[in-house]
Amino acid sequence: MTIDRRSLIVAGLASTLTARAGAQTPPPVAVGALPPGLPQPVETIDLWPAGAPGRPAKPPVETVNERSTDPLVTDRAVFGITRPRMAVFRPDRPNGAAVLLTPGGGYRWVVVDKEGYEMARWLTARGFTAFVLFYRLPGEGWAAGPDVPLADAQRAMRLIRHRARDLAIDPERVSAMGFSAGGHVCASLSTRFDASVYQPVDPADRLSAKPHSAAPIYPVCSMDPAIAHPGSRQLLLGAAPTPELEARYSPDRQVPADAPPHFLLHAEDDDVVPVENSLRLRAALKTRGIPVEMHLFANGGHGFGLRKAVGKPVEVWPELWRAWARTVGLG
């Protein structure tokens, strides 16, 4: 992948001026005390300097729900996102690589901890700079409808690149990782990175949105009703989408010849998002000659992330990803 260096320099200068111009929106915060010892992000990057495009006439209200009853373990979920943004996690010793994280939530909400902050902490402990994306939800009235999450993901990739110098990262080594419905966001980004889903707003939008590599984890990949996650499908496309819509928003049917390398992971006993989602994406990537590594586990269920993988064979998955990342030159 080639980045326009001149555009990068211009965009970097613009980003510095933008950052100085005003404060960014804080990360989503739930009411109540937080567990001691867990670092919470203090740095964020708003995606849209003049506000997110296509705002509904009656915008939703951002709401954070704490779903955990354990005072030492948070399990937050946020919906009604009107100011999409990234929470930034910087490592003590950057290795120059970055990962854009898109947590799941079935397009009903965006999970904060399990597939967001926990994964970001794991990555930063190993030198990666991590960005947890709080993307807009397609069922909340935005004008772009089903393209809203992809627009935010594209914009996020471009912003990371145009701030690369300030973030101490290599703009060529910005990867994507997503989980469940966030895996759909990730796979949409890795297959439709060139799709025109919003009007450019500043020099950052001259840069590529194509990730260096992509890791959809137990992802929603197909809108085929035979294997689709019903909730994600309905919130994304409505109750009765046309075959054309189903095809457009099925990443397994949108793989371009220049898609990036992929790492796929799924548990075969997943009773929420059938493993056939990942199998179809792998088959499509192989047909196109795109490098792909896939790991299937007999047990693990859905949504294991890091915390629910402990004590099971699937707990090795982050190190499998890290070993693969080295093979594709990420870090």
- Quick check: 8 pLDDT over 80? no
| Residue 227 within a domain | yes
Average pLDDT (289-299) is 98
Local structure of 255: helix, strand or coil: coil
Residues 170-189: pLDDT tens digits? Answer: 999 999 999 999 999 999 99
* pLDDT, position 72: 86
| Residue 17 within a domain | no
| Residue 21 within a domain | no
For residue 156, give the nearest of 94, 198, 121 by alpha carbon: 198
- Say if CB 278 and CB 218 are below 8 A apart: yes
C-alpha 88/C-alpha 131 separation (Å) is 5
Residue 197: give its domain's CATH number.
3.40.50.1820
* pLDDT, position 22: 54
Average pLDDT (301-314) is 95
| Residue 22 within a domain | no
- Quick check: 213 pLDDT over 90? yes
| Residue 246 within a domain | yes
- Quick check: 285 pLDDT over 90? yes
C-alpha 214/C-alpha 137 separation (Å) is 21
For residue 136, give the nearest of 149, 154, 145 by alpha carbon: 149
Average pLDDT (222-235) is 98
Residues 148-174: pLDDT tens digits? Answer: 999 999 999 999 999 999 999 999 999
- Quick check: 19 pLDDT over 90? no
Q: Which residues contact 26 (CB under 8 A, 6 or more apart)?
A: 44
Rounded to the nearest 5 degrees, what angle is found at the Cα of 222, between the Cα atoms of 300 and 308? 20
* pLDDT, position 37: 76
Q: Which two tokens stand for residue 237?
A: 């496309």
Residues 110-151: pLDDT tens digits? Answer: 999 999 999 999 999 999 999 999 999 999 999 999 999 999
| Residue 16 within a domain | no
| Residue 3 within a domain | no
**250-277 residues labelled b (16+ CB within 10 A) or e (exposed):** bbbbbbeeebbbbbbbbbeebebbbbbb
| Residue 221 within a domain | yes
Average per-residue pLDDT in the chain? 93
Residues 75-114: pLDDT tens digits? Answer: 999 999 999 999 999 999 999 999 999 999 999 999 999 9
Confidence of residue 32 (pLDDT cuts 50, 70, 90): confident
Task: Give the range of the structural domain holding residue 104, as residue numbers without chain letter.
Answer: 39-327
Q: What total of structural domains would you count in the chain?
A: 1
